Structure 1
Amino acid sequence: MGLPPSGFIKQSIIFLKLYIILYISCIPDSTNHLFAAPTIPPHFGSSDISSYELQTLELDGYLSFDNNHKAATDFGNRYNLYPLAVLHPKSVSDISNTINHIFSMGYASDLTVAARGHGHSIQGQAQAYNGVVINMESFQGLEMKINAGELPYVDVSAGELWINILHETLKQGLAPKSWTDYLHLTVGGTLSNAGISGQAFRHGPQISNVYQLEVVTGKGEVFACSENQNADLFHAVLGGLGQFGIITRARISLEKAPKMVKWIRVLYSDFSKFTRDQEHLISSNDQFDYIEGFVFINRTGLLNNWRSSFNPQEPLQASKFNSDGKVFYCLEIAKYFNPDELDFINKKVESLLTGLNYIPSTLFTSEVTYLAFLDRVHVSENKLRAKGLWEIPHPWLNLLIPRTQIHDFAQEVFGNILKDTSNGPIIIYPVNKSKWNNKTSLATPEEEVFYLVAFLSSAVPSSIRTDGLEHILAQNQRILDYCIEYLPGVKQYLPHYSSQEEWRAHFGPKWQTVLQRKSKYDPLAILAPGQRIFQKGISFL
């Protein structure tokens, strides 16, 4: 009869090993829970079995099993969870087939899946230990469709960078409405969180400016979804931290793009005046187009360190300004315009500034192109990369703080917990909750106005001083502990927790919805293990 073909023998070995695992998992044990992951016999490596299984997949792209160190890194530079394999998809079916294959293996396999964009996660959220990481940037450069009609939009792959979208849409005089401060991020990455910047007070976050999505669920099913089609899945994945599906395409709302930006910075020494002016500015449509702010603590020679492209309105007064080591608050605002509107815009800006209560000698202005303004952080990135200061630990902490609690927060954190801001910028600005869709998975404070406060620290490797990682982490924890004890309305943005109890508190009233959506769209908890919300093999219902 002859010997069976080698492929048949290989498949038989795989199924035999899987059968043994399934059999052992059914043996009663007093420590097993209903959905407890089975114990793998020591002489059968689960990773070997998973590798064999994955190698049977027919793909347009490919799976790599070696030299996958990049998939175990991110911008936070603190977590290194090495995957079993990295999927480099060339089609949505590659993602669908891979996830469906893992789903069909059930609890006999501990494989999980994480989507990785540009690797800008902070806490290992896009990593999958001994699982499969999907390289979403493999989709970059795929067909981008721009519709310049009455309601303009752009259809893009989720692995596309926002900076590339900006370049392409500007060619037709259009641009997305809402941004993040840093544009070298993927569409899927920001839409899985929120996507916030100084335009959010007017347009809401990026997740409020999406018309339609294509999503692959934790079962490997592919759906088109929108407000009117598969609406629950649409809302689930927006701000869903990758828990309910992997976004593969998105239809993003566009608007007519300006050519120039009047970019302004002013300083305050009084926090009440600073927040009063910020809240006044976001309450009117006839104001600035971009509103953010910074905190400077014990920063001497403050004005001399500002960008050289900014010019003081009164150079003599500005040269005499001395920060004296005080806490100062910088209001950063911008007005968009086209070159033929310059005279009108100058008068308009002058009128708008008249009602503000900043320190007069600290009015700094600049005029830049719209592209240069939106891509401003990339300039700093290039400088830091040249100095070897980009790929270092970034123990960032981002908080959403109710308006009624922001003054107590500032008094304790800026006045007591923090001693200086040399480790990185502190961003602070308010947004209007009415611009945020409450149906999404994103957890926000309940009040109509709340503040984003972002501590964007960089840790100096091997330092044991205040710029070292351990000191910054301890400082972050003091801030969190204060919020937990005294400011219960505070939420983390880009959240990170170590227990499901903390996640339950984070989502609050939305927790039951989160559980229902997880059970419906990713019942085996295959997706986004790096978020540490659910664990495969453990019942979450």
Structure 2
Amino acid sequence: MRDFGGIVERSPVRVVRPRSAGEVARAVREAAAQGLDAVPRGLGHSTYGQSLTAGVSIDLRELTGVEVGGRHAVAAAGTSWREVLAATLPHGLVPPVLTDYLDVTVGGTISAGGVGGTSHVRGTQAENVLALDVVVDGGEPVVCSPAVRPGLFDAVRAGLGRHGVITRATLPLVRAPERVLCCTIPCRDAADVLRVQREVRADDMSAQIKPSDDGGGWTYEVKAVLHGDGAQPPPGTTDTEELPYFDFCDRMRPDVEELIRLGEWARPHPWAMVFLPAPRAAAVIKATLADMTPADLGRSGVILVKSLRVGHVPMLAVPDDPVLFSVLRTASPGCASAAEMLAANGTLLDRTRAVGGTRYAVDSVPA
């Protein structure tokens, strides 16, 4: 069995596909009685075997369903964010933070942390949770929240399943816009990207670094997305596109379909994702890019930069004023090998730790 990273492979003793919290609890109890690890797995979008085990794999993809009531939704852990949106948007509501890629699960991203375009304002998905249903060690199902078992609540959010299996999440909802204005702002370098992300007010914010067309360097651009009618492009905008809100949320689907067609989606993905302290981020990004060529990134690789706010998520170790720097490599034919990309990820981790940064633990950095 592999995950999305396609680098680590493990064979579980058995795979359990529960359809209820009770079946999850039974699987955890039986694994404990046999001295086996029980590891939850959603859509397996981790990149270095974090969702794999040689014990009991608890495949949560059949534990699905969403109920919307008032300004909150209750979603089973195996529900994808696409399915959450399908349930909430008819009510004109949406979770405060969505991942850029919708085909990952509620339980999986809350267990990891979950960063999205609105995280510079609203924090991570792990912060935007009202309550969780969890099966703890020994197979006991319990409910936790900031007021009920707060220690467990803090341990399972961004806890990578080590302190319990999330079976259901109660999520806050906010008003969804009908349309958005997507604005592209070219930047000179990484420092300029961070300046724009700090100074421009936008509802959704991200940045991408791409190989330049002449192959002689890198180009930098910020995507600032404004919600609602009548929005005015920020200073420096060179291109705009107006989209229905759901089309914006699902913007990755055409690209993913093309990557699947080309075979790139199935190739190894040695991803490096690190949290850098904002005052030192530009220097680390510059040094990393100086060591890279497009072949070190892969044909479908992507580099992202995202300033964010984390709030109270104790299990998610980040520096003050964090910047998420993501080098999302693909080991394409004719490019650097997966082993070479992993070695480069290790170098980035060394640089990150040297300036007081941390790694995002769903990445492919050999620690």
TM-score (norm 2): 0.94
2:248 equivalent to 1:248: no
SS in structure 1 of the partner of residue 252 of structure 2: helix
Q: Alpha carbon RMSD of aligned pairs, Å? A: 1.8
Aligned to 1:280: 199
Q: Distance in 1 between matches of 2:340 and 2:30?
A: 44
Would the aligned equivalents of 2:93 and 2:176 in 1 still touch at CA under 8 Å? Answer: yes
Q: Letter of the aligned partner of 1:450 in structure 2?
A: P
Q: Distance in 2 between matches of 1:491 and 1:89?
A: 32
Q: Distance in 2 between matches of 1:135 and 1:296?
A: 36
Aligned to 1:372: 247
**CA offsets per residue over residues 410-438 of structure 1, 9 Å max, x none?**
23112x211234441100021134xx214
Residue 302 of structure 2, aligned match among 425, 428, 436: 425
Aligned to 1:330: 221
Q: Which structure has greater helix proportion?
A: 1
Q: Distance in 2 between matches of 1:295 and 1:381?
A: 19
Q: Letter of the aligned partner of 1:134 in structure 2?
A: I
Q: Distance in 2 between matches of 1:272 and 1:442?
A: 25
Q: Distance in 1 between matches of 2:114 and 2:101?
A: 10
Q: Distance in 2 between matches of 1:120 and 1:264?
A: 29
CA drift of 1:197 comes to 1.4
Aligned to 2:341: 472
Q: Letter of the aligned partner of 1:488 in structure 2?
A: G
Aligned to 2:69: 147
Aligned to 1:492: 360
Aligned to 2:39: 114
Q: Distance in 1 between matches of 2:76 and 2:2?
A: 23
CA drift of 1:257 comes to 0.8
Q: Distance in 1 between matches of 2:308 and 2:352?
A: 20
1:237-386 maps to which residues of 2 (within 5 A)?
Answer: 237-281=156-200, 287-297=201-211, 299-300=212-213, 325-337=216-228, 341=229, 344-345=230-231, 348-349=232-233, 353-354=234-235, 358=236, 363-386=238-261
Aligned to 2:136: 217
2:60 equivalent to 1:136: yes
Closer, same or farther in 2 for the Cα pair 1:437/1:219, shift >3 Å? same
1:155-166 maps to which residues of 2 (within 5 A)?
Answer: 155-166=74-85
Would the aligned equivalents of 2:137 and 2:163 in 1 still touch at CA under 8 Å? Answer: yes
Q: Distance in 2 between matches of 1:204 and 1:487?
A: 23
Closer, same or farther in 2 for the Cα pair 1:391/1:466, shift >3 Å? closer
SS in structure 2 of the partner of residue 366 of structure 1: strand
Q: Distance in 1 between matches of 2:262 and 2:365?
A: 33
Q: Letter of the aligned partner of 1:326 in structure 2?
A: G
**CA offsets per residue over residues 78-101 of structure 1, 9 Å max, x none?**
122111111121221111122123
Q: Letter of the aligned partner of 1:400 in structure 2?
A: F
Would the aligned equivalents of 1:178 and 1:196 in 2 still touch at CA under 8 Å? Answer: yes
Q: Identify unmatched segments of 5+ residues in structure 2.
A: none
SS in structure 2 of the partner of residue 77 of structure 1: coil
CA drift of 1:497 comes to 6.8
Q: Distance in 2 between matches of 1:268 and 1:96?
A: 51
CA drift of 1:493 comes to 4.3
Q: Distance in 1 between matches of 2:90 and 2:147?
A: 31
SS in structure 2 of the partner of residue 137 of structure 1: coil
2:95 equivalent to 1:172: no
Closer, same or farther in 2 for the Cα pair 1:469/1:489, shift >3 Å? closer
Q: Identify unmatched segments of 5+ residues in structure 1.
A: 1-71, 282-286, 302-323, 503-541
Q: Letter of the aligned partner of 1:454 in structure 2?
A: S
Aligned to 1:79: 8
**CA offsets per residue over residues 303-336 of structure 1, 9 Å max, x none?**
xxxxxxxxxxxxxxxxxxxxx7333211111011
- Percent of aligned positions that are identical: 27
Q: Distance in 2 between matches of 1:470 and 1:497?
A: 11
**CA offsets per residue over residues 38-87 of structure 1, 9 Å max, x none?**
xxxxxxxxxxxxxxxxxxxxxxxxxxxxxxxxxx1211111221111111
Q: Letter of the aligned partner of 1:146 in structure 2?
A: V
SS in structure 2 of the partner of residue 376 of structure 1: coil
Would the aligned equivalents of 2:276 and 2:352 in 1 still touch at CA under 8 Å? Answer: no
Q: Distance in 2 between matches of 1:419 and 1:132?
A: 41
How many correspondences in the alignment?
A: 364
Aligned to 1:437: 312
Q: Letter of the aligned partner of 2:330 in structure 1?
A: S
2:326 equivalent to 1:454: yes
Would the aligned equivalents of 1:428 and 1:452 in 2 still touch at CA under 8 Å? Answer: yes
Q: Distance in 2 between matches of 1:223 and 1:245?
A: 10
Would the aligned equivalents of 1:77 and 1:392 in 2 still touch at CA under 8 Å? Answer: yes
Q: Distance in 1 between matches of 2:317 and 2:362?
A: 10
Q: Letter of the aligned partner of 1:138 in structure 2?
A: E
Q: Distance in 2 between matches of 1:270 and 1:160?
A: 39
SS in structure 2 of the partner of residue 432 of structure 1: coil
Q: Which structure has greater strand proportion?
A: 2
Would the aligned equivalents of 1:269 and 1:327 in 2 still touch at CA under 8 Å? Answer: no
Q: Distance in 1 between matches of 2:365 and 2:202?
A: 36
Q: Distance in 2 between matches of 1:196 and 1:74?
A: 19
